Amino acid sequence: MWRHLASNTLTLLVVVLFLAGGGIGWAMREYRAPGPLEQAICLRVAPGATMRSVADDLAGQGALRSGAIFRIGTSYAGLDQSLKAGSFLVSAAASMQGIADIVTRGGASTCGAQIQFTIGVTRNIVQLRELDPATTQFVELARFDPAAETPVPAEYVRLRGDADTQYTVVVVPGVTAWQVVNGLQGIEFLDGDADGIPPEGMLAPDSYQVSPGDEIAPLLARMQSAQERILTEEWTNRDSGLPIASMEDALTLASIIEKETGLPEERPLVSSVLVNRIRTGWQLQFDPTIIYGITRGVGVFDRPIRQSDIAGTTEQREHGSVDYNTYVIRGLPPGPIALPARSAIHAALHPAQTDFMFFVATNDGSGGHAFAVTQAEHNRNVAAARAAAAAAEGGGE
């Protein structure tokens, strides 16, 4: 009898272990399989949250088939104590294993609200945005001019108090180094001061993730390091036979291209006009160089260019303002006049192969330009541009 009982017990133990193994295998497959979530969501993990509370939240939003399997799987993987606070984008059909990785990996939040401070050519703007998980596009909640709006919107105050809010500084191509420094020093969530104004042109226009309390000087160093890397890479792969001798010349050329057109497809064409003029010894005659000579990149030039500016007044000559005036000097000015984007640097070092010597804004609302080889053709383009401007000013009549 004892032998029979022992045999039955052993059989039962084998069956239990077999079923347990099968159950574990099934649970692991469920943990790794695509989940039931039909549309991406933004999951907020509050400071102090537990894996159980996160599992309940995920199950409530339809992201899990089983909260218990999610908790067991994260515990088995040793992740149950590695939860990170933040707002995280969970994509449709995300597996429990994938979600566990998202909420325990750490790093910046991938969705939720964002405060974006944009340093622009004519003014700075603060945008309050929120990511729409379904489209992965930011939806604007509000915007304001920090220099003009007092008090700031209540939505800004609310988001500043939210620990999950992301912060971004955007440097628009075509601004000057002074404008960047001045803009950064006006951002109340950044600390410290700049160590002077960086060399003109040597900050990369881009979007930079920041955090409250970040120091301004290291942020500027990051921008400068990025531009140095871009310039070096583009210079290394430049076209042969260009009439420029150094990376600084390339940056200067790129800065003029940046100020002359905002259309990426036009930049190689503008570059070709500049390069053709340099090769033939013509004056470049670009208005933005006059403006930089007068302002040296400080402040906003808020008046039309006068004929005296083009000619270079006695006062400007005495103060050295004409050294940037490409209606007076020949060749490139002594340095960059703005911060060029990578596309402008690329265009400077890869100009289109054209015979163009002239271009003029079309004034047709496209932001584009008409290019010409001869003076006669250019004169016709200028007449058409003036007619388009007059029609627009008169309402099209």
Question: For residue range 288-332, what is the model confidence (pLDDT) as tens digits?
Answer: 999 998 898 998 888 888 888 888 764 555 555 678 999 999 999
Domain with CATH 3.30.1490.480 in the chain: 33-110
Q: What is the CATH topology of the domain spanning 33-110?
A: Dna Ligase; domain 1 (3.30.1490)
Confidence of residue 77 (pLDDT cuts 50, 70, 90): confident
When comparing pLDDT for 5 and 351, which is higher?
351
Looking at the DSSP bridge assignments, the partners of residue 169 are 117, 208
Confidence of residue 348 (pLDDT cuts 50, 70, 90): very high
Strand ranges across the sheet with 113-119: 137-144, 124-132, 113-119, 166-171, 207-210
Give the pLDDT confidence score for residue 280 in this predicted structure.
Answer: 95
Whether omega for the bond prior to residue 351 falls within 30 degrees of 0, making it cis, is no
pTM of the entire structure? Answer: 0.79
When comparing pLDDT for 335 and 321, which is higher?
335
Give the pLDDT confidence score for residue 5 in this predicted structure.
Answer: 47
* Helix, strand, coil percentages, rounded to 5, for the chain: 45, 15, 40
Indicate the SS3 state at residue 136.
Answer: coil
Report d(CA 122, CA 204) in Å as an integer.
Answer: 18
